[in-house]
Chain A
Amino acid sequence: MSRVTGNIVQPILVRVILVLAALWVIPIWLAIVAGTKTNSEYASTGIFEFGTSVEWINFGMFFVAPFNFGLNILNSLTISVGAVLVSLVIAFPVSYAISIGRHRLRGVVLAVCILIFLLPLESVAFPIYLYSKMIGMYGNQGFMILTLGITGSAFATFLLSNVMRHVPADIVDAAHIDGAGRWVTLTRVVWPLMLPTVLTVALLLYVFNWNEYLLSLLLLPDSSSYTVPIAISAVDYGQRGGAPGQLVAAGAVLGSLPSLIIFLFFQRTLVRGITAGASSG
């Protein structure tokens, strides 16, 4: 294929693309550079220059009062993981019924899931907020987990059922002939086969949940119940004359670190999930 683009053009193109990709990372890179500087270094050096050493205290100060960032991370972890479990508990049996069972409501279920996924969350968020107050669950983490979990189950059903469709009918038939009921077929045959896809979906939902902002904004009012994205956006900056720049940068790095780590380890899985959703749509 090197003949296609020509031997001279190709290395240039490769470099251009890599430079562009690097450009895309620059904002986050700059935040890392600034977040590791001391206050005086921050004032005296350019934004592309590293400080002489890593100023760990910039990060450390977020873990004590008034920020108590550790608590926000714990909140985000609990909510993200809890909601992923809720989504899977709802989505897996539904996908099983419409993909393996070929339930007659298959088309309806998929249409509803796509619609829920495409409609703005704002068109249900206000009643959810009012409902939480009505039943005394305002600020309750469990309520947030359920809400987020149900929301995510629409996307999970869509993705899971798209992959589950390709489980060969012969395998399911063989299980039935061997006397396995629908429940045993689900737990012993389909679940193990689907495990890689389940993990992909779980990881995607986890990242979505971690980055969720609107429901967190509406349902979790106290700073002690804040999730990471909300806590970070509460680090005032700019017009309101809040924290000094290097601390803002350090906070931003801390806030993106959990997602970045997941991304570095599971890049392929995440991308596979995204593209599976897109190419089967």
Chain B
Amino acid sequence: MTHQRRGYGWFLYPGFLVLVIFFGSMFVWNIGISFLKWPGYGPAKWIGFDNYVHLFDKPEFWESWTHALFYVVPFALLPALIGLALASIVYEAFRGTISRALVPFARAGFFLPQIVPISVAGLIWLWMLDSLSVTWLAEPIPALLVLSAFMFWLQMGFAFVVYLAGFSRLEPALLEAASLDGAGWWHRLRYISGPAVWPETSVILVFLGVGALKVFAPVYYLTGGGPYDSTISPATYAVTSFFGGRSVGFASAVSTVLALVILIAVVTVLTISTRLRRSNR
């Protein structure tokens, strides 16, 4: 098979180099800007780590990270939990021929928010809350709760659909046997179907967890980070600092910290999960 491994460089390098050079240079450039005192035009001044020192003094920065950690719950944990529960109910309950035909409807309903542009979804929610005379977006804690509901509404369908596909791998006879032995829904989920979809769980948690830390559009289009910065995320903080024209260097520092945190989180999770997998063998 050695002949298969040679001569494929011509197919690999052009595209891969475009990808690596483009992202690599932009990423390094962004880090470079974060060491500058620069409003986005005119001369720039090298100030070393001053932007970062300045950043760690800002209460907004710490608030944005507190929110980011909080958003992991409605953006990743709740969608995964409820998505798993709903998918397992659909998998077990939609068995009859008529019910089976209804699965696409359930799937389409839950998945719909994933398809609509988030700016449009945000506009619809704003309009809907206003029509129902709900003014929660004007106060910090209620705004955080409405935003959480919005995030949950957006992301649950993703987890649901992925879990539903995962369950299709299961052997129905296995669950049937378990239920004949007296295992209820919870026990079947806890000991059979739940562990079987562990690969899906890890993908959903990594993907949505990272998505929560770097969340931008749901915040930007529903609350704009307000009221009084009570819902800002690191990503919206970076973008609004950039647009606000305060300092491009400062905005780059905010986004560099975000990228580093995600990098560290991903590498840690991957290392731990590989170790666990090895020790389980």
Task: Give A residues with C-beta under 8 Å from B.
Answer: 1-5, 9-10, 13-14, 17-18, 20-22, 24-25, 27-28, 30-31, 34, 47, 89-91, 93-94, 96-98, 100-105, 109, 112-113, 115-116, 118-120, 122-128, 130-131, 150, 153-154, 157, 169, 172-173, 176, 182, 186, 207, 210-211, 213-214, 217, 228-230, 232-233, 235, 237-238, 245, 248-249, 251-252, 255-256, 259-260, 262-264, 267-268, 270-271, 274-275, 278-279, 281
Contacts and interface: CB of A to CB of B under 8 A. Distances in A.
A260 B90 CA distance: 24
B16 interface: yes
Given A97-B8, A232-B119, A153 B127 contact: no
Contacts of A17: 86, 89-90, 93-94, 106
Contact of A126 (B96, B109, B248): B248
Interface in B103-132: 104-113, 115-128, 130-132
Most chain A Cβ neighbours within 10 Å, of B9, B15, B106, B112: B15
Interface of B: 1, 3-5, 7-9, 11-12, 14-16, 18-20, 22-23, 25-27, 29-30, 33, 86, 89-90, 92-96, 99, 102, 104-113, 115-128, 130-132, 153, 156-158, 161-162, 165-166, 172, 175-176, 179, 185, 199-200, 202-204, 206-207, 210, 214, 216-217, 220-221, 235, 238-239, 242, 248, 251-252, 255-256, 258-259, 262-263, 266
Contacts of A126: 30, 33, 242, 248, 251-252, 255
A119 B162 contact: no
Contact of A24 (B95, B120, B157): B157
Contact of B216 (A116, A122, A124, A260): A122
Contacts of A131: 26, 29
B92 A279 contact: no
Contacts of A100: 4, 8
A102 B15 contact: no
B272 to A, nearest CB: 16
Contacts of B252: 126
B117 A274 contact: no
B172 A116 contact: no
A16 B263 CA distance: 41
Given A118-B262, A124-B23, A232 B123 contact: yes
25 contacts: A4-B95, A4-B175, A10-B93, A14-B102, A25-B109, A90-B15, A94-B12, A97-B12, A101-B4, A116-B19, A120-B259, A122-B259, A123-B27, A127-B25, A127-B29, A150-B19, A153-B19, A210-B117, A235-B123, A252-B127, A256-B115, A263-B111, A267-B107, A275-B166, A279-B199
Contact of B179 (A4, A13, A112, A252): A4
* Secondary structure of the B contact surface, majority rule: helix
A18 B105 contact: yes
A182 B8 contact: yes
Contacts of A21: 105-110
A230 to B, nearest CB: 7
Give 9 closest A-B pairs by Cβ, nearest first.
A21-B109, A101-B8, A97-B12, A275-B165, A123-B259, A120-B214, A124-B26, A90-B15, A127-B29
Contact of A124 (B27, B127, B176): B27
A28 B185 CA distance: 33
Contact of B12 (A24, A109, A116, A154): A109
A213 B118 contact: yes
Given A109-B16, A213-B117, A228-B117, A169 B1 contact: yes
A2 B200 contact: no
Contacts of B172: 1
A213 B110 contact: no
Q: Which of B105, B128, B200 has the most CB of A within 10 A?
A: B128
